[in-house]
Chains A and B, each alone.
Chain A
Amino acid sequence: MKKVSNLIKAFSFLGKASVMVMMLFFILAIIPSLLTSHSPYIPSGGALTPPSTLHWMGTDDLGIDLWAQICHGARSSLIVGFGTAFLAAGGGSLIGILGGYYGGKLDGCLMRSIDLMMVVPELPTMIVLGAFFGPSKMNIIIVLSLFSWTRPARIVRSKILSIKEEKYVKVAEGYGGGFSYLARRHFLPQVFPLIMVNFIKLISRAIVAEASLSFLGLGDPTSKSWGLILNHAMSFRGIYFTDFWKWWIIFPLLCIVLMVLAISLISKEIENLLC
């Protein structure tokens, strides 16, 4: 914890501002029901009312409060982002460590599958998988992870390949250190900063991908997400000819942009400081 706060202290002004923005989003995600008295599912006012003191960000075509939807949307964005990043960074680095350490056939196999994943077009494949396996949050996380594990795996593998030849690892091996001991004591601590930087990038990628999928109508329909609000607004007939887009589109749009930019700035700062 102390390390993290020291790290944040070393950030530039923009980096600190991004941390603040992310904290705000976290607050939205953790206690949405305290921040708004309206429900994100049940109409609480007239349809399509512009922002007012009662409805901060106005309402959509069903009269559902947009601020409530945005708060709950922050939760699903962050769940998908962090879920994917944990799964992909964890799985990817495990695969990278295994491949790098054992080498041989296992490594060859893993490298081939990484090559395969690199050339397959991402979004179309995600659409097909999403369409067939049904839009639930869990499925979205799994599908996104399927496309995100390759980068951490490759980075970790090349790092392990160089660490493996170091003298202290050879010595540890000579004294009978097994794979799990080496992984715990020597590999993970060195690989950790690399994974950290990658972890944050994975979060923002996953959030963008989730927003894109929900925008296409493949999001989890039972929970609110920013992409879903946009999808809903865009399928409202003739929304361009009205003023409704001034709140219905702009607020979710701003949230996505803010979050993605904040995460990318944080990852740049960490990259500069750690690597």
Chain B
Amino acid sequence: MKKKRKILGFKQYIIIFLCIITLNFFIPRLMPGDPFTFLSAEEGQDHTAFSSEDIERHKKYYGLDQPLWQQYISYVRNLLKGDLGYSIHYKEEVLTLVLSRIAWTLSLVIASVLLSAAIGVFLGTISAYYRNSSLDKILYSGLITLSEVPSFIIALVMLFYFAAHLKLFPLSGGMSHFVDFSSRWEMIKDILLHAFLPLMALTITRIGEFYLLARNSMISILDKAYIKTARGKGLKRRRILFYHALRNAIPPIVTRIFLSFGGALGGAVLVENVFNYPGVGRLMRQGVFFRDYPLIQGIFVVMTLFVLVMNYTADAIYKKLDPRVS
């Protein structure tokens, strides 16, 4: 069963984004209850009672007395201006909160996808060359099994084995606090040391995907005539594999890299919470914990936007690399 992906146009992505925004707009309005009890009455807290004039005033202030379509239009307009709302718990603009954290998450996601692609393609190439040998079989079953295990489970294992038991790595956080770094290099080293385990946890689960892709396309490429020619010319094995053959396997791998960002982002949300990594995923869980709905929704919009942009890029690159797709 081959997975076929449809290439979508720019217009379709806009439609998808609008669908997401609409969903985001309607979810809080579909919830049972009133916005006023929703904002003020949490379990175990004092209930602030509003008089009916107060409620009228607040409704007017938040634009809730207007018809639904006007609320929707102003919601979209605010969103386009970059106004994602106001966090209840942190008492700050959601956008500023997200922007202050997003670099941690993005660097983790991008680095892990690139790293897993590199490792996966390398192992896949070797596996394809030594097809049906015991090395191939071990790599195949091992990597496929590893890719079944969710990344946060691997993260937990790594956290407790490498950080807590062997004490090789820091336990949590993005960098050491209250430390004066003697040089910029020291600081970078500290950040990398903190990022290592989360990065590995995210990378390991994705290797299998790239491995399979590279192995399959390399197996068909290695049977082609030009590989025989290259071999006949007496070229070195390494040059044949990584120069002549891999070059033709690259297009699907590049598109897969961009398509992987969505899944990797989901993994990062979980892994960040294992390591208390200061990224957006951690922020999202804080939002869930404190029932900070505007924050959750804001992060959701930003994440969706990122994934959609990556998918669009994947499609664009695929069209460019493979002229048969129009």
Q: How far is the CA of A275 from the CA of B2 in the complex (A)?
A: 13
User: Are B293 and A131 in contact (CB-based, < 8 A)?
Assistant: yes
- The 8 Å CB contact of B1, one of A120, A155, A208, A216, is A155
User: Are B297 and A128 in contact (CB-based, < 8 A)?
Assistant: yes
Q: CB-defined interface of B280-320 with A at 8 Å, one 1/0 digit per residue?
A: 00001101110101001101100110011001000000000
User: Are B153 and A253 in contact (CB-based, < 8 A)?
Assistant: yes
Chain B binding surface SS class? helix
Q: Does A178 contact B (CB under 8 A)?
A: no
**Residue with the highest number of chain A CB atoms closer than 10 Å, among B156, B265, B285:** B156
Determine, out of B23-31, B85-93, B209-217, B234-242, the stretch whose residues face the partner at the interface.
Answer: B23-31
Q: How far is the CA of A123 from the CA of B296 in the complex (A)?
A: 12
Q: CB-defined interface of B148-170 with A at 8 Å, one 1/0 digit per residue?
A: 11101100110110011000000
Q: Does A119 contact B (CB under 8 A)?
A: yes
User: Are B304 and A121 in contact (CB-based, < 8 A)?
Assistant: yes
Determine, out of A3-11, A93-101, A179-187, A256-264, the stretch whose residues face the partner at the interface.
Answer: A256-264
- The 8 Å CB contact of A127, one of B15, B153, B296, is B296
Chain A positions within 8 Å of B269 at CB level: 123-124, 127, 216
Q: How far is the CA of A194 from the CA of B150 in the complex (A)?
A: 25
Number of A-B contacts (CB under 8 A): 118
Chain B positions within 8 Å of A275 at CB level: 1
User: Are B273 and A216 in contact (CB-based, < 8 A)?
Assistant: yes
Q: How far is the CA of A241 from the CA of B167 in the complex (A)?
A: 10
CB distance from A151 to the nearest CB of B (A): 9
The size class of the interface chain B forms with chain A is 35 or more
CB distance from B29 to the nearest CB of A (A): 10
Q: Does B142 contact A (CB under 8 A)?
A: no
User: Are A121 and B266 in contact (CB-based, < 8 A)?
Assistant: yes
Which of chain A's residues has its CB closest to B311's CB? A119
Q: How far is the CA of A123 from the CA of B308 in the complex (A)?
A: 14
- The 8 Å CB contact of B288, one of A123, A217, A253, A260, is A217
Q: Does B184 contact A (CB under 8 A)?
A: no
Which of chain B's residues has its CB closest to A159's CB? B1
Determine, out of B4-12, B127-135, B192-200, the stretch whose residues face the partner at the interface.
Answer: B4-12
- The 8 Å CB contact of A122, one of B27, B152, B266, is B266
User: Are B150 and A260 in contact (CB-based, < 8 A)?
Assistant: yes
Q: How far is the CA of A208 from the CA of B31 in the complex (A)?
A: 27
User: Are A212 and B270 in contact (CB-based, < 8 A)?
Assistant: yes
Q: How far is the CA of A250 from the CA of B153 in the complex (A)?
A: 10
User: Are A121 and B153 in contact (CB-based, < 8 A)?
Assistant: no
Which of chain A's residues has its CB closest to B146's CB? A261
- Where the two chains meet, the residues of B that have a C-beta atom closer than 8 Å to any C-beta of A are 1, 5-6, 8, 12-13, 15-16, 19-20, 24, 27-28, 31, 145, 148-150, 152-153, 156-157, 159-160, 163-164, 171-172, 262-263, 265-267, 269-270, 273-274, 284-285, 287-289, 291, 293, 296-297, 299-300, 303-304, 307-308, 311
